[in-house]
Amino acid sequence: MTVDNIIDGKAFAAGLRRKVAAEVVRLKKDHDITPGLSVVLVGNDPASAVYVRNKGEQTKEAGMVSSEHRLAADTPEADILDLVNKMNDDPSVNGILVQLPLPHQIDENKVLAAINPNKDVDGFHVTNVGRLWTGSDALVPCTPLGCILMLKDRLGDLSGKSAVVIGRSNIVGKPMAALLIAESCTVTIAHSRTVNLADLCRDADIVIAAVGRPEMVKGEWIKPGATVIDVGINRVEAPERGLKEDGSPKTKLVGDVQFTDAAGKAGAITPVPGGVGPMTIACLLRNTLVAACRQNGIAPPPI
Ligand code: GUN
């Protein structure tokens, strides 16, 4: 393993945030527009609260306007739909993000469908899914967008490369496949029921692991020199780190890829943490900038 085969997602994300911030300054100077992102958080999920806080802080650091709507866990669906409609009609709101998961009484699909697709900075609305797959101007889901930006930065032209995407979620696997096809890769979408996963990986120039199973992708499956993007974030027990105060083992984060073994074979690989994770919010800021430009008839900057 050489250190320069490790893709530093933290540094890459910081660079993207700087580029977004510079474009925000320019948008203000040239057009007197400051992009605004509104985030809706329903309930008390601690992980969601951390995400939302980080999103708010980074939005402000990029020079954009951040607003947060924190609603009680028992908020009726109709109230959330009303709020979304108000934000759809508010020209100072360029991006709308409803943090998932939502409490059980709320139909997630109904809420996502209510968001104006041009403000849907998550890229989850079916209109944006359709735009992505048909090659028109979509807002692209943030995590796969971060992956493709890192891949292109590392490899340049992806044309003709064989890629295996492990995972078929609407949020990562499927949009990732669409983005790779758009870059003229030959794409296989694998998932938990795929029978010959090891062989598929052995043939792949690019492996994207987004299946949510700790260290499922083995180092020996990686073709020498391949690029490995690990989207997984799994918390596992780490008894080697000792015990917590309550006597239970300490924990650590691992990806979907057996990192040390895979890093010994890969040409480039993202670590967990510090790989794909930091790119997600950076891409959210990028999407908010793009949305603000398009809503005002301005061509978005090529970042
Ligand atoms: N929950 C976890 N990640 C995300 C995300 O990227 N977008 C939304 N809306 N909810 C999430």
pLDDT per residue over 192-228, tens digit each? 899 999 999 999 999 999 999 999 999 999 999 999 9
Supply 143's token pair: 């995590």
In eight-state DSSP terms, residue 143 is: H
Q: Is residue 274 left, alpha or beta, with left meaning phi > 0 and alpha meaning psi from -120 to 50?
A: left
Asked if 165 and 211 touch (Cβ cutoff 8 Å), the reply is: no
User: What's the 99 CA to ligand 1 centre distance in angstroms?
Assistant: 5
CATH class of 142-279: alpha beta
Question: So what's the pLDDT on residue 1?
Answer: 46
The residues that are catalytic are 55, 99, 122
Does residue 100 line the site of ligand 1, with CB under 6 A?
yes
Q: How far is the CA of 277 from the centre of ligand 1 (A)?
A: 12
Given this structure, which CATH class describes domain 30-117? alpha beta
pLDDT for 269 equals 98
In sequence order, what are the beta bridge partners of 65?
36
CATH fold match for the domains 30-117 and 142-279: yes
Distance from the CA of 27 to the center of ligand 1, in angstroms? Answer: 27
Q: Whose CA is nearest to atom 1 of ligand 1?
A: 100
**Beta-strand relationship, 162-166 and 95-98:** unpaired
Residue 99: CB within 6 Å of ligand 1?
A: yes
CA 170/CA 231 separation, integer angstroms:
14
**What is the pLDDT at residue 295?**
98
Paired residues of 163 in beta bridges: 187, 206
- CB burial of 98-133 (b: ≥16 within 10 Å; e: otherwise) equals bbeebbeebeeeebbbbbbbbbbbbbbbebbbebbe
Which has the closest alpha carbon to 14: 164, 169, 146?
A: 146
DSSP H or E stretch at residue 292: helix 277-295
Domain ranges for the chain, please list them: 30-117, 142-279
Q: Is the CB of 142 under 6 A from ligand 1?
A: yes
The token pair that represents 124 in the structure block: 């989850």
> 0.75 exceeded by the pTM?
yes
Residue nearest atom 3 in ligand 1 by C-alpha distance: 100
Query: 54 C-alpha to center of ligand 1: Å?
Result: 12
Alpha-carbon distances of 46 from 41, 43, 52, rounded to whole Å: 11, 9, 10
What is the best residue among 48, 171, 280 to mutate for testing ligand 1's pocket, by most ligand atoms within 8 Å of CB? 171
The whole-number mean pLDDT for each consecutive block of 10 residues of the chain, a chain of 303 residues, reads: 84 98 98 98 96 97 98 98 98 98 96 98 98 97 98 98 98 98 98 95 98 97 98 96 94 98 98 98 98 98 93
